[in-house]
Structure 1
Amino acid sequence: MSIDELNKIIAVKKMDLEECEQELNNRYYPSIVRMAMMNYISVLQEQLDKYNNDHINL
């Protein structure tokens, strides 16, 4: 994977994470949906941490 591809992936995941967090904080969702969104947010955060660590090592 090239650095440009990695940067694009990171940018999309960051935007998705910001949108999910904003939606979760600004709208009402049933608890099961909130749990799924919180899980997705934590997965995105873990992936971003991994990508950022890999990016440093390139």
Structure 2
Amino acid sequence: MHHCLGAPLARRELRIAMHSWFDLVPSFHQRGDPSAGLPCWVGNMLSVEALNLAG
């Protein structure tokens, strides 16, 4: 089974990027149906089809 040695670093980088993004972007909420655009698998990656946000 494959295990990526860089996975812990990638998770840490994503956490830092998300915290930085939330600090810079004004508050928002999800618009419309909350189940729309739920995460789905694309190959071996988790993806979001749509994310409707409103400020």
What TM-score do you get using the length of structure 2 for normalisation? 0.42
| Structure with more strand by fraction | 2
| Structure with more helix by fraction | 1
What TM-score do you get using the length of structure 1 for normalisation? 0.40
Instruction: Tell me: higher relative CO, structure 1 or 2? Use CA pairs within 8 A at least 6 residues apart.
Output: 1
